[in-house]
Structure 1
């Protein structure tokens, strides 16, 4: 039987569409990507940068706790702006990778990426400032991944394995008490700063038939346990001892723990006609690991348990917490790629990401259209440019009771369908 030439070779059309993956559920930004491992060149350097601009705006904001006197309340903020509040900031995602073939059967890659992140910045002048003024989370991931391939039938089977080291840091500012409204000179703003690191691993399988541009792969990425989260709770914006709070007015070293999620991703691509390729993917991410993340005074470590204070754990050293209450995420994507000639290729895709919010927050379903183009002026250089336009679906955030404890009780708000846009550019050098 004569084998067809589908033209696109081992190119993965999804690599043209980096912009579509940078606005997914939970804290995902760049996520994990090992497509570089499959490049047929002996040595490859690949770099990319993506800018994402989500336009989420909040409406009908209400301060839910209007008691003026601490510690029972934090002030009545309902006289502040409550419509069209821009919640999200634009952000950059960077990636750099190097791949080498070690003989005929072994390929290895090393890469730097920024898989997780968040940046909410409503500012201090809005009716929900007691919930958030600014929150920013960033990450750095350093990974090594290798594969061993051997003939199976008409194609090759790859066994994939690797490890990665991850750093996560961030802060959250919010209005603890509206002290200026009570005549105090203090700002009333508190700040939580934290950082931690951990290790993870990945394993997977891939099957390829090069002549048909066919490849299917499944890869598992482990959770990364951040058991060593440490930082400070800065309450110097409050008078010392306000409302009987012994931590008011001072900076307190704190600690906590979290687990960045594990995930499983299935990818598929195949040539369907000369110069044409279809591709798709399904990914599950265990965002439900991130519920309420308590932080406790370092001085109490070992003396009290640092767990979420709720009906099942009424005694806890928790001073503050980051409340997410996420559910598991699902991302489904499909698209088509086409090679126009020896220099130009293009691709388009549609992606659905299931929202992970469960009553608080703004992470609802997202639909994203992506398109990308690849230009190869020589056999050693490839330039890629892609863009995406997405719909952030509407919803609301209200108080939720879980395990006898209220969450999202400081403020409530609605949000309409909003837009997110992204652009990504990359350079690949092969030799």
Structure 2
């Protein structure tokens, strides 16, 4: 059963949280710290998003379709874990936790056409784990992350806020530190592990370049402070039969603290709700080399379905299937995930303008791990 303990963790994570609530993409996993022995891994995931809507206001009674506004995005990850002694271990984790890729075609929505948003992040987390005994342990460390991006507002929905044209803001890359702390309880004989992990919010001080196409005299530079969410992850697994594992988790993230208010424009460009994401799955080892898993995922966002045009979904439901092959000290894991995105209404400034319904995303992930 202990052999399958590590296998299931890799399968559960291989396709990540590729299309999650708000800007959340990876769920900030720390499972590598529980790998047995010394270990390193590398991962890649890609997500194809089908995200389209239709204008709905009296300004445009016949409506106009947005076209596909969801951009394909890729994610890379890596991790290294090493035992320092029998009680103390160390892990270094690279992931890309936050991001957005939205592009409203100019030939689509009359109200939002030309609006775009792009944001990228990179994060490195350094963790220590101390085992008091076979069952109790604590883990914690520092996280450093960098974020940059660009937003362009255009279309009839912004006519009153941006008279005579469009608005663009470039967000220069900024790096900042946060911290992670957690506790775990295990019963190795039945592959039981329950881990609770808290990740702090991280505050960034961004330099901005703001451009108004219809009012050049207002162009200039400014700065603003923005936070990424604090979060709590509760992960569990337990053996339920020979070579069979039940696993899952609950993640809460406080997306509502993430605001972006440029100094010149003076209005918040991000309006997100807090979310809770639930995962429940079963994994099974078929033989010494092959294992598989399936998991159901449900994400619930606070509030109504009025959302920012830059993140036009409200919660989601997903199914994830994974398979893993092990040869000597190497494991190769692959996973595919189908996500049904929650219906939402894009509402810049709280004004409902565009309905988004029946949208989805497909993700594929690949991970290669080495024990040494």
Please confirm whether the aligned pair reaches a TM-score higher than 0.5, indicating the same fold. Answer: yes
2:240 to 272, 277, 286: 272
The corresponding residue for 2:181 is 203
> Is contact 1:205-1:217 (8 Å) kept?
yes
Ranges of 4+ aligned residues in structure 1 off by more than 4 Å:
61-64, 78-81, 128-132
Deviation for aligned residue 1:238: 2.9
The corresponding residue for 2:313 is 363
Relative to structure 1, the CA distance from residue 321 to residue 137 in structure 2 (aligned partners, 3 Å threshold; closer, same or farther) is farther
> Is contact 1:333-1:349 (8 Å) kept?
yes
Deviation for aligned residue 1:270: 0.5
The corresponding residue for 2:51 is 56
Deviation for aligned residue 1:158: 1.0
The corresponding residue for 1:338 is 284
1:388 to 334, 337, 353: 337
Is 2:208 the counterpart of 1:231? yes
For 1:163 and 1:346, locate their aligned partners in 2 and report how far apart those are by CA, in whole Å: 33
Deviation for aligned residue 1:258: 0.8
* 3-state SS of paired residue (2:14): helix
> Is contact 1:355-1:363 (8 Å) kept?
no
> Is contact 2:99-2:118 (8 Å) kept?
yes
For 1:397 and 1:143, locate their aligned partners in 2 and report how far apart those are by CA, in whole Å: 34
RMSD: 2.4
Matches within 5 A, 1:75-154: 78=60, 82-128=64-110, 133-151=115-133
Provide structure 2 residue ranges, at least 5 long, that are not aligned to the other structure.
158-163
Deviation for aligned residue 1:254: 1.4
Relative to structure 1, the CA distance from residue 288 to residue 132 in structure 2 (aligned partners, 3 Å threshold; closer, same or farther) is farther
Relative to structure 1, the CA distance from residue 357 to residue 322 in structure 2 (aligned partners, 3 Å threshold; closer, same or farther) is farther
For 2:88 and 2:69, locate their aligned partners in 1 and report how far apart those are by CA, in whole Å: 46
Is 2:132 the counterpart of 1:165? no
The corresponding residue for 2:161 is none
Is 2:31 the counterpart of 1:35? yes
The corresponding residue for 1:220 is 198
Aligned length: 361
Relative to structure 1, the CA distance from residue 33 to residue 20 in structure 2 (aligned partners, 3 Å threshold; closer, same or farther) is closer
For 1:81 and 1:429, locate their aligned partners in 2 and report how far apart those are by CA, in whole Å: 54
Relative to structure 1, the CA distance from residue 84 to residue 130 in structure 2 (aligned partners, 3 Å threshold; closer, same or farther) is closer
Structure showing greater Rg: 1
For 2:184 and 2:279, locate their aligned partners in 1 and report how far apart those are by CA, in whole Å: 18
Residues 285-337 of structure 1: per-residue CA shift (max 9 Å, x gap): 111212x52111xxxxxxxxxxxxxxxxxxxxx42444333221100010000
Is 2:106 the counterpart of 1:156? no
The corresponding residue for 2:17 is 21
> Is contact 2:131-2:138 (8 Å) kept?
yes
* 3-state SS of paired residue (2:36): coil
> Is contact 1:325-1:357 (8 Å) kept?
no
Deviation for aligned residue 1:14: 5.9
1:44 to 39, 62, 85: 39
* 3-state SS of paired residue (2:301): coil
Provide structure 1 residue ranges, at least 5 long, that are not aligned to the other structure.
65-77, 179-186, 241-245, 297-317, 400-406
Is 2:194 the counterpart of 1:188? no
Deviation for aligned residue 1:130: 5.0
For 1:127 and 1:285, locate their aligned partners in 2 and report how far apart those are by CA, in whole Å: 31
Deviation for aligned residue 1:90: 1.1
TM-score, normalization: structure 2? Answer: 0.90
